[in-house]
């Protein structure tokens, strides 16, 4: 009998995933200043392809070069790079796996050093350390344009060799922010009821499907809950899933949280009032959103994927055998151990490394004297994030991970990288806006 994790999985569109493991989407920040894919993408994704996961999801590819999630995002917006996308797709599928392009718009969650005027459903500012400007409320004609941009990006993905797409409607980015009554206070046909708030997503799915045809995988990433008072609730999620049942969706990835309540990072953005919104049973079973997936499973007609927290074979097999999901998403473990899926499938290992458990500043002398506990916690979280980013950069450069790198060093490297890449990007964007042709096009 084939092991559960190694079993192929046939999607509704007819495509088949070689196994049940997926490299989840993680922002790479390794595009060139013109927001095009680079040889670093090829190196990184070739390693992941050879690492054994049946499905790889890219970091979010933006449909609008003006508003990015992070400097170094790839964008598809009049900036060329088609041959580069083809090279990326070829490198990322060398082992016969699927490679899906995650397509996204950052919306109001684009930092000031990228977008002085981010965009959103309403002019509701992201209050996070003053790093985000007040967004401009989108006009209806802009919403309709963005729907077609999502479709164009999906068509481009198919034409350049990617084997599917995932529409990003989670974590507070543009589509996700339309779903939340906290960030969407519109009174027109794009706001108000959950059906109206979900209209942008539903119309995007329809346009995307029309652009790529019925035989091309189209997935969606959706919050199970925003974990915010008055925000997109689990009940809202269940209604959206009901609506998506009428569309041709091949894989629904369940996630949760926004920048104000980033559950996946284990940090609430508050000092002493943080609340863990995960049920105890979920923590015991290690997957962050598995309890929510169980509820969604009772309504969803499409296959489900759960990402976040999986580290053991037992936890993954339990989720599959219990019928809670069909595909297991893995993120941070693949930032250091690119071949973890292959070794897991070969039964050479039963558990992924848990570096996040030991990456702590704790009560370091240089922080504990004059800085509040909140700042130490913040640096711990962003330092861990920066630590994993630095590992991705090393992998993309053909190097091995540096497991001895410190959290504090990673934190400051992360801040420096953001500003350096952003400066180069802004210069290239000004040239592009002035009519320049990207070099090499």
Domain range enclosing 237 = 4-356
Q: Provide the number of structural domains found in the chain.
A: 1
Q: What is the CATH number of the domain that holds 223?
A: 3.20.20.70
- Looking at the domain assignment, is residue 404 inside a domain? no
Q: Tell me, yes or no, whether 94 lies in a domain.
A: yes
User: Is residue 262, in this structure, part of any structural domain at all?
Assistant: yes
pTM comes to 0.92
365 lies in some domain: no
- For residue 327, what are the β-bridge partners? 305
Concatenated DSSP letters of 353-374: --GGGT---TT-HHHHTTS-HH
293, part of any domain: yes
375 domain residue, yes or no? no
Could you tell me the two tokens for 439? Answer: 């070099």
Give the lowest-confidence range in 34-43, 59-68, 127-136, 271-280.
Answer: 271-280
Summarised one tens digit per residue, pLDDT across range 36-75 is: 999 999 999 999 999 999 999 999 999 999 999 999 999 9
Residue 424 lies in a domain: no
Among the listed residues 243, 255, 139, 131, the one whose alpha carbon sits nearest the alpha carbon of residue 190: 139
Looking at per-residue pLDDT, the higher value among 181 and 268 belongs to 181
| Per-residue confidence (pLDDT) for residue 227, from 0 to 100 | 80
Which pLDDT score, from 0 to 100, does residue 151 have?
Answer: 98
Quote helix, strand, coil % in the chain, to nearest 5: 40, 10, 50
Q: Is residue 412 part of a domain?
A: no
Task: Reduce the secondary structure of 107-126 to three states and give it as a string.
Answer: CCCCCCCCCCCCEECCCCCC
Compute the distance between CA of residue 76 and CA of residue 65 in angstroms, rounded to an integer: 7
Does the structure show a pLDDT above 50 at 232? yes
């Amino acid at each position: 009998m084939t092991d559960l994790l190694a079993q192929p999985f046939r999607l509704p569109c007819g495509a088949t995933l070689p196994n049940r493991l997926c490299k989840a989407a993680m922002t790479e920040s390794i595009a060139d200043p013109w927001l095009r894919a680079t040889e670093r993408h090829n190196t990184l994704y070739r390693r992941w392809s050879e690492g054994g996961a049946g499905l790889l999801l890219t970091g979010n590819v933006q449909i609008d070069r003006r508003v990015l999630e992070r400097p170094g995002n790839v964008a598809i917006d009049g900036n060329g790079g088609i041959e580069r996308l083809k090279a990326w797709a070829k490198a990322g599928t060398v082992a016969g796996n699927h490679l899906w392009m995650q397509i996204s718009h950052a919306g109001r969650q684009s930092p000031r050093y990228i977008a002085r005027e981010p965009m959103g459903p309403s002019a509701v500012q992201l209050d996070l350390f003053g790093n985000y400007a007040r967004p401009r409320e989108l006009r209806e004609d802009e919403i309709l344009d963005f729907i077609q941009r999502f479709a164009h990006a999906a068509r481009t993905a198919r034409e350049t060799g990617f084997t599917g797409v995932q529409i990003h409607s989670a974590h507070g980015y543009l589509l996700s922010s339309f779903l939340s009554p906290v960030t969407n206070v519109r009174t027109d046909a794009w706001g108000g009821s959950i059906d109206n708030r979900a209209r942008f997503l539903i119309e995007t799915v329809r346009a995307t499907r029309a652009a790529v045809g019925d035989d091309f995988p189209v997935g969606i990433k959706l919050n199970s809950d925003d974990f915010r008072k008055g925000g997109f609730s689990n009940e809202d999620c269940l209604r959206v899933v009901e609506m998506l049942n009428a569309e041709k969706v091949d894989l629904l990835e369940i996630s949760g949280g926004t920048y104000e309540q980033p559950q996946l990072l284990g940090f609430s953005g508050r000092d002493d009032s943080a609340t863990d919104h995960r049920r105890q049973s979920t923590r015991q079973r290690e997957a962050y959103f598995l309890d929510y997936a169980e509820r969604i499973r009772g309504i969803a007609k499409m296959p489900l994927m759960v990402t976040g927290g999986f580290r053991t074979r037992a936890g993954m097999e339990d989720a599959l055998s219990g019928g809670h999901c069909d595909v297991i998403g893995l993120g941070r473990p693949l930032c250091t151990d690119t071949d973890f899926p292959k070794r897991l499938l070969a039964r050479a290992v039963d558990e992924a490394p848990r570096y996040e458990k030991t990456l702590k500043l704790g009560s370091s002398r240089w922080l504990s004297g004059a800085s509040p506990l909140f700042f130490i916690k913040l640096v711990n979280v962003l330092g861990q994030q920066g630590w994993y980013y630095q590992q991705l950069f090393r992998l993309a450069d053909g190097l091995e991970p540096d497991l001895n790198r410190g959290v504090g060093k990673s934190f400051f490297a992360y801040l420096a990288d953001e500003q350096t890449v952003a400066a180069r990007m802004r210069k290239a964007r000004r040239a592009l806006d002035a009519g320049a042709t990207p070099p090499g096009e």
